[in-house]
Structure 1
Amino acid sequence: MKTVSMIVPCFNEQESVPIYFKAITKVFEDPQMKDYTLELWFIDDGSSDATLNELKTLNAQHPETAHYISFSRNFGKESAILAGLEAATGEIVGLMDVDLQDPPELLPKMLRELHTGEYDAIGTRRVGREGEPAFRSFLSNMFYKLINKISKVEIVPNARDYRVMTRKVVNAVLNLPERNRFSKGIFSWVGFKTKYLDFENRERVAGNTSWSIWQLFEYSLEAIIDFSTAPLAIASFIGIFACVVSVIAVIFIIIRTLFFGATTAGWPSLAAIILFIGGIQLFCLGILGNYVGRIYSESKHRPVYVVSEKK
């Protein structure tokens, strides 16, 4: 019998936790899952509601199945995923959201595909975004198109964190020591044979999403910086372009002075050009600063998360 360790990040999910537990245990009670035993690792990412109390209750009632790790504060979903990967003991390790937007009933098929030995990981992706704001869907599609053009690592569009992996995939991921993590990119970077199963978009079973559009934008920016140096190349290109335009402008001014004499006109346009060049410089410095900031963050070797409780 193989142990399947499911990692479940939680942030202010007090309503979803008991519903999720009932749904996932029901799946493993099915006769077709008789060769698997379930191990749950709930990661409380510094919740401010009663999520931790719900996890303690589950652990008290089902100590062999339901385990939890509680962070000292909110460190983010990527830190929760890493903590779960480090804690999981199963031969097979899975990852899914607690809000049941990842369908638990898809797990038997995922495990059957993994059991064939043809694949090292089985991932999932959404084939529709019904119920999601159109603007958010547009930004998501643009992100995947952009990152796949500028990154050498292919990020599967609309891929979810929901997946199951063999132990060797998990060990490969844990061998990557970086503090700034983008799991979808990391799972792609380590390689291994992966098959993706499609499913229709689902609404949350309870509560509201904690991801705002601004947070998603920041997350996307981190992903681009973590898996591509293209922004640095863009900054260099803009700098070269600005220099060429400046040289052309100087030549134009010299020719105009030789043929038409000196003039004091044009100060507004000159001020506009100076502001334009200054804006380009600040933009390029901002790009460079993001990379330097990540180098600084990595060099401090601070832990990715701090555990308050674990059981």
Structure 2
Amino acid sequence: MNAVSSKWLASIQIPDPIVLSVVIPVYNERPVLPILYERLRRVLDPLQIAYELVMVDDGSRDGSGQYLVDLATAASSVKAVRLSRNFGKEAALTAGLAQAEGEAVIVLDADLQDPPELIPDMLQAWRAGADVVCMRRRSRAGETAFKKLSAHLFYRLLNRISDVDIPADTGDFRLMSRQAVDAINQLPERNRYMKGLFAWVGLPTHFIEYDRAPRAAGASKWDFLGLLTLAFEGITSFSIAPLRLSMGAGVITALAGIVFGLWIAVKTLILGNPVQGYPSLISIMTVLGGVQLISIGLLGEYVGKAYFEAKQRPVYLIRDVVHNRALRHESSPEKSQFHVASR
């Protein structure tokens, strides 16, 4: 090898391997994004590790996507992933985890209710041997009493009926090792309740309690119906208890009908009373019809899940991925057009 070749090889700068990826799903969060980026920089830059911010735009309509593209073009630490449309938070999380390259991956909401300042503590627990660091909410500032109570009851109900131990009072805010992330990326299902999938993986887990803050800016995109739908998705994804409950309701209703019929027969034979009971008949038919419709609806929910799984549609479609690697090493910016990902 001549001197020129040796000098050229020595001039090549190989970037440090990424230690930490922070995955952030974004949907109509334009007002909070500058605050989010600055707070993350203030926390991560002093750590002196190679990190990336994987910010997934889930079909925003308020300019969030373009802001992330501009940010990724100017900052080498930002990778902007834009989905082709709004697929939902669970799909955006799935896309972000598939794009994350770090040895440790943290999931963080864009609204800053989960403080980035806790990231050093999470990394410390990971370096001590934990594959998963769950952040357990000690308090929930800025939320109504009804929302706090419903969340408290939901987690405990889900744990009681599910075969998987899903940690109570924990959201998506957590750190996962590369082993845990690779395991999640292998899961093929289309109906994805990420909190349940995180728990399903298992692996050594460490818990850190914290106080959840109010939103830094903007308004929540979750209304009551959306939260109720997510809760039902979690229950039906990790338990068949609703089907067993409907079967139990059917058995109880049938037994009640038999007992009522026997009582009418005995009353008629012994007392000679004519069979009247038009109101009671209508009531029984109404109750029985309601039980049947609920049972059919629950069965349809599970059949529908199987139907969507059988179609094998991708969880999301990526419009483009923008990451200015040229700022880190000798390379051209990465930008792929309409990349299709299966999970």
**Residue matched to 1:204:** 215
Contact 1:93–1:170 at 8 Å: present in 2 too?
Answer: yes
Residue 79 (structure 2) aligns with: 67
- The match for 1:45 among 47, 51, 58 is 58
Task: State whether residues 28 and 37 of structure 1, in contact with CA within 8 Å, keep that contact through their aligned partners in structure 2.
Answer: no
Alignment of 1:98-137 (within 5 A): 98-116=110-128, 118-137=129-148
Q: Which position in structure 1 is the counterpart of 2:341?
A: none
- Give the Cα–Cα distance (whole angstroms) in 2 for the partners of residues 170 and 294 of structure 1: 24
Q: Which residue of 2 aligns with 1:18?
A: 34
1:76 and 2:88 matched: yes
Q: Distance in 2 between matches of 1:293 and 1:192?
A: 31
Number of residue equivalences:
306
Q: Which amino acid aligns with 1:71?
A: L
Q: Normalized against structure 1, the TM-score is what?
A: 0.95
Whole-angstrom CA distance in 2 between matches of 1:134 and 1:206: 21
Greater CA drift, 77-86 or 127-136 = 127-136
Q: CA deviation at 1:260?
A: 3.1
Q: What's the % identity of the aligned pairs?
A: 38
Contiguous gaps of at least 5 residues in structure 2: 1-15, 323-343
Q: Which amino acid aligns with 2:58?
A: D
Deviation at 1:87, TM superposition (A): 0.7
Distance 1:124 1:45 in 2: 24
Deviations 1:88-140 (CA, angstroms, capped at 9, x unpaired): 11111111011111111111111011112x21111212101232101111111
Q: Secondary structure at the match of 1:59?
A: helix
Query: Is the Cα–Cα contact under 8 Å of residues 9 and 43 in structure 1 kept in the other structure?
Result: yes
Matched to 1:46, the amino acid is G
Aligned with 2:174: secondary structure?
strand
Per-residue deviation, 1:214: 1.2
1:299 maps to: 310
CA–CA distance in structure 2, aligned partners of residues 141 and 232 of structure 1: 23
Match of 2:69 among 45, 52, 56: 56
Q: 2:106 aligns with which of 90, 94, 103?
A: 94
- In structure 2, the residue matched to 1:85 is 97
1:290 maps to which residue?
301
> Does 2:264 match 1:248?
no
Matched to 1:271, the amino acid is I
Q: Is 1:190 aligned to residue 201 of structure 2?
A: yes
TM-score (norm 2): 0.87
User: For residues 50 and 110 of structure 2, what CA distance do their matches in structure 1 show?
Assistant: 19
Q: Corresponding residue for 2:335?
A: none
Which contiguous aligned blocks of 4+ residues in structure 1 show a shift greater than 4 angstroms? none
Q: How far apart in 2 are the matches of 1:189 and 1:138?
A: 25
Matched with 1:275 is: 286
Give 1:264 shift: 4.7
Match for residue 232 of structure 1 among 235, 243, 250: 243
Superposed CA RMSD in Å reads 1.2
**Residue segments in structure 1 that go unaligned for 5+ positions in a row:** none
